Structure 1
């Protein structure tokens, strides 16, 4: 097993621990400095375990990376670096979002509470849609268990220093599984069919699902929602996490509606139509605003300031 080292310099401000807090199925380890993040990267024909440590500060961020794999060449190391830059959101510029939040006391408080939190990305459109299907109409804890089960059942794996790491399943593995086999992951029959259908769309379509990266937002939504079992909520997550579009907003998310109601409407029930209108205050940075709102909901932090009209 060979070891390779990299140094990455994110766009400041950057906080590794907060950025990776919403990726619970990847390992957090102990390290000599701030929190470590470990993930098995699928480079195609080879796998490598990336261990990332924060060795700088939020204002002057530096990430030290160790790659462990079998005889990686320069091209494969470059692919690994590109993947890390995407999943860790290294090159997002938070300053325009932070500046726009200055007129919104609630969002200002969230940006102070989660200062340096970038939005983590997904490596593919397929991965984003698959995770969304698994999480539909389930609590976060149940969805996490099912995701972990799928990853450990169908994902490629590599054991390093006595610990087995798993990467997200390749589309071919899901496409070749039967609906009955997918149902063993605690999926409903319909979800198993949806998941298999998306995997087959990825493997059987020229350019795969990532071909939508060349399209405008509205065209992406049209293409993605043409897939069976995929609606507008999932399409917005594709825009945000897989394609890095800045102004996506997952209307229809009950948790998002709840945290906005709590912070801005005194807990009063609001509709998706009301939320859509209200969310224009965060344009053109609604993707980041969504991440900060979910961070508040997930951690219970940053909720001491509420909106006063």
Structure 2
């Protein structure tokens, strides 16, 4: 066993972290005790990492513990990446100080970008979530993972490409997936399983290169790629301008008479860069208060 204490730069919103995680029934969280368990695969070994949060946004700390000492440094870095524990809060505040977004940033600063354990999980999840309301999207993902994934020490691992590639469209239909979405997921799992798609390689590519790599895949469009960049690769300058929630939040924020187009939302990106991902998170959060 190993343990480590990680102290992110304040402010860091532990409350918003747990609030966002609690939306997903797959997450192994205990809100009362501020405990999270996450599924990692390190060197082909499945390991469960336990994270306990302490303090508040002005004095946050996270106590991490895991099973295998030889995986300690990789596990710590993965947790930091997943929960944005190296977030540059001071840089974000300084960038938007005196701008039209100063109030929005002040309201939500410290809210982290929360990533999936790996790029494969992020891609699978966001294909499932395409064009669905949030509640049903989480329900479908839960059915898919708990039916074909692996359960270990209280956490769920996404079904591997090898498992998914052997499924049929009918298997997915039993879970209430559409035929087309089932085909997309099986096709991508086949490509990963056969070595035609290396998702690990995406970590080394630029945003543009990731687009070029993923866009030819059936069922993968700009929204899905942007979500993979955000929630799979943890990129900090992503604005999913075609997302209805982002558009509605921009309309609300600037008191517009109608919902802005994707192109109109993208136009803001020049001013919000290099922290567009955080503004995306704040915009989504502003819709719920």
Q: Provide TM-score, normalisation by structure 2.
A: 0.89
Indicate if the aligned counterparts of 2:126 and 2:228 stay in contact, CA closer than 8 A: no
Deviation at 1:109, TM superposition (A): 2.6
Q: 5 Å matches for 1:33-182? A: 35-43=34-42, 45-67=44-66, 72-105=67-100, 107-159=101-153, 164-182=154-172
Structure 1 stretches of 4+ moved >4 Å: none
CA distance 1:117–1:194, change in 2 (3 Å): same
In the alignment, which residue of structure 2 is the partner of 1:307?
none
Deviation at 1:261, TM superposition (A): 0.7
Indicate if the aligned counterparts of 1:12 and 1:93 stay in contact, CA closer than 8 A: no
DSSP-derived class of the 1:205 partner:
coil
Q: Provide TM-score, normalisation by structure 1.
A: 0.84
List per-residue Cα deviations over 1:204-258 (Å, max 9, x = no partner): 2267222122222212111110111101111112222222222112121111111
In the alignment, which residue of structure 2 is the partner of 1:209?
199
DSSP-derived class of the 2:155 partner:
strand
Indicate if the aligned counterparts of 2:124 and 2:185 stay in contact, CA closer than 8 A: yes
Indicate if the aligned counterparts of 2:64 and 2:76 stay in contact, CA closer than 8 A: no
CA distance in 2, matches of 1:207, 1:142: 28
Indicate if the aligned counterparts of 1:262 and 1:268 stay in contact, CA closer than 8 A: no
In the alignment, which residue of structure 1 is the partner of 2:267?
277
DSSP-derived class of the 1:141 partner:
helix
Q: Are 2:220 and 1:230 equivalent residues in the alignment? A: yes
Deviation at 1:194, TM superposition (A): 0.5
CA distance in 1, matches of 2:55, 2:170: 48
CA distance 1:232–1:77, change in 2 (3 Å): same
Q: 273-282 vs 73-82, which deviates more?
A: 73-82
CA distance in 1, matches of 2:11, 2:278: 14
Deviation at 1:36, TM superposition (A): 2.3
Indicate if the aligned counterparts of 1:101 and 1:108 stay in contact, CA closer than 8 A: yes
Aligned residues between the structures: 286
Indicate if the aligned counterparts of 1:40 and 1:50 stay in contact, CA closer than 8 A: yes
Gaps of 5+ in 2: none
In the alignment, which residue of structure 1 is the partner of 2:185?
195
DSSP-derived class of the 1:89 partner:
coil
Indicate if the aligned counterparts of 1:86 and 1:122 stay in contact, CA closer than 8 A: no
Q: 5 Å matches for 1:232-251? A: 232-251=222-241
CA distance in 1, matches of 2:37, 2:68: 21
Gaps of 5+ in 1: 302-309
